[in-house]
Amino acid sequence: MDSANDLMISVSKGSPLIAWQMFVPYVVSLQRSGFKGTKLMFVSGVSIEIRSKLSEAGFTLVDFSAGSGTFGFERIKPILKFLSERSQDFRNVIWTDWPDVVFQSNPSVWLENNLRGHRLVGCTDSVTIENGGGTDEWVKKVSPEVFEKIKGCDVCCCGTLAGEAQALRDLLRKMHEILSVDMGLIDQGVLNFLLRTSPFKEITLFPKLEDGFVGGLVQFLGGRTTVWTNPHPVLNNGIVYPSGKNEPFVLLHQHNRNPEWWHAISSRYTEDVPGIVTFPPDDRRPVVALRPSRAPRRLR
């Protein structure tokens, strides 16, 4: 198998807040990245316009019915069902959120060059679990004993996951099993528990920010720089680089935590920069809608 057998996955649940404009940076950046595999969007209750535009952009749409659980739990179900039936058809799978993700290069290339010897990638939020701004409590709910053992490890974000198709299927199957037992658990807590314990810790690559795969910016742009565990990333003309590196991050995630970074990055992919909305609206945190009232000052 080669890059044509890779799979890109995201999930969208309909809401009056969601318009096609919000998909454009994600969709256009993926088109420009050179990704050659299958693009899959699981959808529940999205508009006709969104469905039409995604199809025109080369996405295969798979409908699902969202249940009453948190979005973090409900979105696992259709992905797990699909991979349980089709994982043998794909090489590597990249699963990301879409509202706050853009692609700066082809993720297939990075995985080809770096995944050797591993089968999963845990993407850092550049903060330890004990300082994780919520992840600490989420992991404690899964296992206080394991929390004490892994609290000094970096948080792995649940909004960006990648790895071999069958390994990701097995990980999601175990996540679903645990979340189904206790609906009070949070997906990111379960993810960090699983990736740091057997049998998944032995097959998971934990790249640092400087390795350039995912620029997870939530803690840095959210102002928690005192607990940041990696050198600060650099924004230059709307492109974000690891500190001291000439190659930009492959993916950017959660650049919506700062209106100036959001505008500078998103404007590379659309002239009509969408307002910032933190999704999902029915999960972990309240909806925050922002739009810069004026053009941001020049950024270096």
Task: Give the model confidence (pLDDT) of 269-279 as tens digits.
Answer: 999 999 886 65
DSSP classification of residue 285 = S
Residue 280: pLDDT band (50, 70, 90) is low
Residue 298: pLDDT band (50, 70, 90) is very low
Residue with more model confidence, 164 or 225:
164
Contact by Cβ (8 Å): 122, 206: yes
- Can you give the pTM of this predicted structure? 0.90
Predicted local distance difference test score (pLDDT) of residue 16? 79
User: pLDDT at residue 112 above 60?
Assistant: yes
Residue with more model confidence, 166 or 17:
166
Predicted local distance difference test score (pLDDT) of residue 291? 41
Across the chain, what does the average pLDDT equal? Answer: 91
Compute the average pLDDT of residues 44-67: 95
Q: Which two tokens stand for residue 164?
A: 């071999």
The size of the chain, in residues, is 300
Predicted local distance difference test score (pLDDT) of residue 299? 38
- The single-letter code of the amino acid at 69 is G
β-strand partners of 252: 102, 215
Measured in Å, how far apart are the chain's first and last C-alpha atoms? 41
Look at the block and give the residue holding tokens 């690891």. Answer: 242
Predicted local distance difference test score (pLDDT) of residue 295? 38
Q: In sequence order, which residues have a C-beta less than 8 Å from that of residue 199 and are 6 or more positions away?
A: none
User: pLDDT at residue 289 above 60?
Assistant: no
User: pLDDT at residue 122 above 80?
Assistant: yes
b/e map of 244-254 (b: 16 or more CB within 10 Å)?
eeeebbbbbbb
Residue with more model confidence, 289 or 142:
142
Compute the average pLDDT of residues 82-94: 97
